Amino acid sequence: MEVSADQKRKPHAMFIPYPLQGHITPMMQLAKLIHQRGFHVTFVNTEYNHQRLVQSGSHDPDLSRIISGFNFETIPDGLSTATPDRSQDVSDLCNSLAKNSSNLFRHLIMSMLNESPENPPITCIVSDASMSLLILNPAEDLGVPVIFFRPHSGCGFWCYFHFKNLIEKGYIPLQDECQLKNGYLETKIDWIPGMPALRLMDMPTFLRTLDPHDTILNYIEDAAQATFKGKGLIINTFAELEPNILSAARCRVPNLFAVGPLLKQCQKLGNSNTDLSSIKSSLWKEDDLCLAWLDKQRPESVVYVNFGSSTVLTPQQLVEFAWGVANCKHPFLWVIRPDLVEGQGSVLPPEFRAETEERGFLASWCPQERVLSHPSIGPFLTHCGWNSILESICAGVPMLCWPFFAEQPTNCRYACDNWGIGVEIEGEVKRGEVERLIRLVMEGEKGKEMRERAKRLKHEAEKAVQPGGSSYCDLERLLNEVLDPQ
C-alpha cells in the first residue's frame, strides 16, 4: 500500500518526556496542542509508566485506533518494577537512563524514519530537556531536528542554567556538611540576569551536595548546557508572569517559546476536540467522589492539601500536618498517595480521623485541575511543583507553600515574594505554624489580598493564550518557524 502525498507531507513529531508525573502531564498537553494543529504525534513512555497509565484508567490500549495520528511507543527504563504504583527515585532514573536508553532511542528513531501506511516519517523530536543527553547524539546522527521542552518554571530553568556558574564560582558543591545548617545557605546570589537576589536555599535543592561527582548535579548541569544545541526551547510559562527572566534568557537562547499555561491552552482545545480531551496522563487512578463532596461545601471554605507525585514525608511530618489542618477547624480535602510517607504506609492517627470525619475528605489521588477550579476551594497547601502552581494560578487560588525538592524552593520564593500569592511554611513542620498560616489565608486580610492577586494572574493567564496573546503568538512561532517551517 502506497503512502498518499498528503500523508507524506504531514509533519510527524515524537514527544519524549522525562518519566515522572510532573514532566509527563505538561508534555502530554503540548502533544495534544501540536496534534490539533495537523501533526502526527508519537508519544514515548517507559514501559513502567505505560503500565501505570493503563492501570489508572488514563490510557486506553485501543486509543490509537480511536484518535487517528496519535500513537504511543514504549522503551524500558532499566529499573525494577517490583513495586508498582510508586514514583521512581530521581537519582536511580538518571543513572539508569544514562546507561541504558541512548541506543534504545536511536533504534526507535530509526524505525520511525521509514514511511508506512499508518505513519508518515518522523520530522522532529520534542524532547524533555532532562533527556537531552540521551536524545541529541542519535537525533543528530540521523538528521532529525530536536526542540527541547522545559516543564519547569522560568525561574527554575534559569537557576539550572546557572549551575555551571555556581560551580565555577565555588558556591557548589558544598565544602562541608556543616554548611547545610550553619547559615551558608543564606548566602545571596545577586548576579543572575533577570532575577532578584536569591539565597542558595531558594535555589534548586540539587546544589546541596558535597560530592563534585554527584549524579543529579552533573546530569542537570550537562542537560542545561545542552539547551544550546537544540533548534529551540519551549517553556511552560507566560510572559506576563516571568517577564524579566524570559527577557534575560532570550539573550542566551534566542529561539525561546513561552507557551504556557499549557493547561489553559488545552482547556480551549477540550471544547473543540472531545477525543483529544479523553487522553489522560495521570499515573494514579483519580478519585472523582471528592467533587461531589466539594459540591456540598460553602464557597472558598475548603483547605485543599496535595504534596504532588514525588514528595515523601516522614511519619512525624505527616502527623504535624494532620493536626495543623485539623486544629484550624476548616473543612479540608487531602490527597494522600500510597507512597507519601517514608518507609511505611500513609497512616493517620485514629484520633485525627475521629476529630475530622465530619469535615474532611481523604483521597489517594484526584483530578486536581477540576478540584482547584471548584468554587468551594479556599487555599491550596502545596509542595510548589510547577504544575500545581500553574493550576493554582489558573484557578485564582492562593497557596500555602511547603517546597520539598528540586526547583520547588525557587517556585515558592517567587510565589510568596514576587507574585504575592503564597505564604511559606518554613523550617521544621509544626502543627501550630500550619494552623496559624491556614487561618491567616482563610480568615485574614492578607489572605484576601493573596486571592485578589491570584485572580489577577488568572486573568493574565487567560489573556496570554487568547489570539494575539503572548503565549498564543509564541505557539504560532514555534509551529511555523521550528516544528514545521515548510
Q: Say how far apart CA 220 and CA 131 lie, in whole Å.
A: 10
Say if residues 258 and 471 touch (Cβ distance below 8 Å): yes
Q: Say how far apart CA 98 and CA 90 lie, in whole Å.
A: 12
Q: Name the phi and psi angles at 382, rounded to 5.
A: -135, 160
Q: Say how far apart CA 442 and CA 302 lie, in whole Å.
A: 9
Say if residues 333 and 447 touch (Cβ distance below 8 Å): no
SS3 376: coil
How far does Cα 36 stand from its chain's mean position?
A: 22
Q: Which residue has the cell 489508572?
A: 56
Q: How many Cα atoms sit within 13 Å of 213 on the Cβ side?
A: 1
The vertex-258 CA angle with 132 and 371, nearest 5°, equals 95
Say if residues 398 and 449 touch (Cβ distance below 8 Å): no
The vertex-262 CA angle with 17 and 291, nearest 5°, equals 100
**What cell numbers appear for 64 in the block?**
490509537
> Within 10 A of 183 (CB to CB), how many other CB atoms are there?
9
Amino acid at 419: W
> Within 10 A of 102 (CB to CB), how many other CB atoms are there?
16
Q: Say how far apart CA 85 and CA 129 lie, in whole Å.
A: 25
Residues marked active site are found at 23, 128
